[in-house]
Structure 1
């Protein structure tokens, strides 16, 4: 591990501490396992000095919780000292599987509940930590990032609130619109892309895939995600296409103008494998409509890639699409909650992000630049070579 060994030439900001809220408990445990393993293997002449006190431990996870009263009110509790720690707080605001009781009734936790618990834990720290970094893979209220008419700017308010509470930096993944960082111009908001991990997962799980311009294309399901699709196309040497949504602006359904049709712009997709890439899969209707249109244009296999698999309408539509041959594989990350049902689907590939998060935490704890981790082009080219994928431009 040569790149990780280089980190030891700097002193840690402080003893490393990870607080994985209940919503991110599984992901936090995986991240912790990587860090414990790396630091036990890492050799340095400075390990026994006072600056590296607590550098190697059996766990970096700290004991914290948010117990609730019968009314549904809660409080944040940290059951061990965090004085001088470099703290990393993990939270999944979309984890609907967690419940709590309100006057005898069972409520599922909403993004608002998870965000409130995050603030409670920050408040429990009480300013005693050396530094607080929040790792929030799905950015809270990230889709409410700009104002149309008289609307609240929830994401901007949340970012300002967290930084005002003492959070030094916020790390998110594939933000719906990274420009929301303008709300906190004097603090750090990093939007990390999981491009490399998706490409690696496809190569590992689909042995007969051919990633070149003659056999594959990248498609953006809407105009808003075109930048993401162009990046994939550039690093893989593929052609790119786009669908744009024709909406009925005279109606509002579920808070949005309903989509009338998806119109395609781009070269022929006939006979080619297609990667449809987006930041999230919510109900999935939009992606499946796009897949249907591509099949009408005689596309070959269709891969659906979404950083966040929310599946707000359940999985039955995807089951049906798979049985009809509309989709070949569905890939989402473990950055958000994955239901046991999803993990058993024959068409589903889980993209593990825990090692990547551990690398980011390990690097930041040593106060080193993460620019190399945020730019995966070299790693993508290396893995393409490893799997004998020859790009044709």
Structure 2
């Protein structure tokens, strides 16, 4: 059964479907919309869901956030959303967008994107039947706990959204999912792209052998153990972990510097490695882990990260690739990707638009998304295809 047919439901939708991709998420929003339009058109007469405009040429509701010369702004919707089931998509990491501030060009920061999100919610004005926010990179998710006299930005942001009338918040690979405790009576889902990573690794690793003698999954730090264990268990292989030894007597750029990465796990010699983490920021940790594994005799290294931020540029990855430290870097299209990144021979993009469309279609029919959040069956299906030398 295809993913589209799995997503066919007989029940009535919550309301007329409306998607509002903010300018930061235009490309991803268009792909999501195309899937939804196609699926609902194919269902045709088979659908017993009788609702005005269940099928439309586009579910995208036009919106814009114009700015004044002072940098202030307002949210505007291009059509009525009364009674709609609204899904707002925002990429808070899209630094490629700019605006004029007193005549000077300023790049959009995560704070700017979050404010624009609130402006669009305010423009909805409580008229929608339900508001859902899809924010792949959770705003301020790295500031998720308090150490000393610090602000709890992520928790405050979540509370702000639900206070404005947001019913569900969907994010991907939250830095710490326990932040949902800030809004215990509202919907909060953190989605893992493990299936997409496995599928794309299998596409680019034709000589992979999926067993404990030839493959390992590595967590680059103790905080990412859970996602590494999940992937290792699905693949049926061993897991290893690095932990960061820090110098707690020194603070550099607001945090304690890493002195060394220590490895815990079985022998890696001659084995392929899948290193999985939630984000590549500067890339220093990921490359250091790859270097240490290569020194221990590892074969092919696949570096997987939900969010490829590359805040310090791509040069260090170019150098590491030329030195043979890794085989491929895989990240998703959930955050802005530069044309330069997409052109790199070592880079593989994992498209999550179909997955997001499935989540939206399922939620719009008020159905459970449990099967989508835990894609064990789909992972096993693609593994069987790989083992049987079928096209993935």
Query: Smaller-chain TM-score range?
Result: over 0.9
Residue 232 of structure 2 is matched in structure 1 by 233
Q: Secondary structure at the match of 1:9?
A: coil
Partner deviation per Cα, 1:352-376 (whole Å, 9 max, x = no partner): 0000000000000000000011111
The 8 Å contact of residues 8 and 44 in structure 1, kept in 2 or not, is answered as: no
Equivalent-residue separation in structure 2 for 1:289 and 1:315 (angstroms): 15
Equivalent-residue separation in structure 1 for 2:259 and 2:311 (angstroms): 21
Cα distance, 1:7 vs structure 2 = 3.2
Equivalent-residue separation in structure 2 for 1:107 and 1:251 (angstroms): 33
Residue 76 of structure 1 is matched in structure 2 by 75
Residue 315 of structure 1 is matched in structure 2 by 314
**Runs of 5+ consecutive residues of structure 2 not aligned to the other structure:** none
The 8 Å contact of residues 7 and 368 in structure 1, kept in 2 or not, is answered as: no
The 8 Å contact of residues 211 and 389 in structure 1, kept in 2 or not, is answered as: no
Residue 11 of structure 1 is matched in structure 2 by 12
The 8 Å contact of residues 240 and 266 in structure 1, kept in 2 or not, is answered as: yes
Cα distance, 1:294 vs structure 2 = 0.5
Cα distance, 1:329 vs structure 2 = 0.3
1:203-218 correspondence runs (5 A): 203-218=202-217
Equivalent-residue separation in structure 2 for 1:233 and 1:242 (angstroms): 12
1:58-137 correspondence runs (5 A): 58-137=57-136
Q: 1:45 to 1:271 in 2, by over 3 A?
A: closer
The 8 Å contact of residues 23 and 93 in structure 1, kept in 2 or not, is answered as: yes
Q: Secondary structure at the match of 2:56?
A: coil
Partner deviation per Cα, 1:265-298 (whole Å, 9 max, x = no partner): 1100000011110000000000111111111101
Partner deviation per Cα, 1:34-84 (whole Å, 9 max, x = no partner): 00000000034566x7x4110111100110010000111110000111000
1:344-355 correspondence runs (5 A): 344-355=343-354
Q: Secondary structure at the match of 1:52?
A: coil
Q: Secondary structure at the match of 2:306?
A: strand
Cα distance, 1:256 vs structure 2 = 1.3
The 8 Å contact of residues 196 and 376 in structure 1, kept in 2 or not, is answered as: yes
Cα distance, 1:2 vs structure 2 = 6.1
What is the TM-score with the length of structure 2 in the denominator?
Answer: 0.97
Residue 31 of structure 2 is matched in structure 1 by 30
Equivalent-residue separation in structure 1 for 2:125 and 2:154 (angstroms): 24
Cα distance, 1:4 vs structure 2 = 4.3
1:294-313 correspondence runs (5 A): 294-313=293-312
The CA RMSD over aligned residues, in Å, is 1.3
Cα distance, 1:213 vs structure 2 = 1.1
1:34-45 correspondence runs (5 A): 34-44=35-45
**Runs of 5+ consecutive residues of structure 1 not aligned to the other structure:** none
Equivalent-residue separation in structure 2 for 1:230 and 1:389 (angstroms): 25
Residue 372 of structure 2 is matched in structure 1 by 373
Equivalent-residue separation in structure 2 for 1:205 and 1:33 (angstroms): 27
Q: Secondary structure at the match of 2:304?
A: strand
Residue 180 of structure 1 is matched in structure 2 by 179
Q: Secondary structure at the match of 1:82?
A: coil
* Number of aligned residues: 388
Cα distance, 1:253 vs structure 2 = 1.4
1:343 correspondence with 2:348: no
Equivalent-residue separation in structure 1 for 2:261 and 2:319 (angstroms): 20
Equivalent-residue separation in structure 2 for 1:3 and 1:96 (angstroms): 33
Residue 200 of structure 1 is matched in structure 2 by 199
The 8 Å contact of residues 7 and 366 in structure 1, kept in 2 or not, is answered as: no
Equivalent-residue separation in structure 2 for 1:389 and 1:337 (angstroms): 36
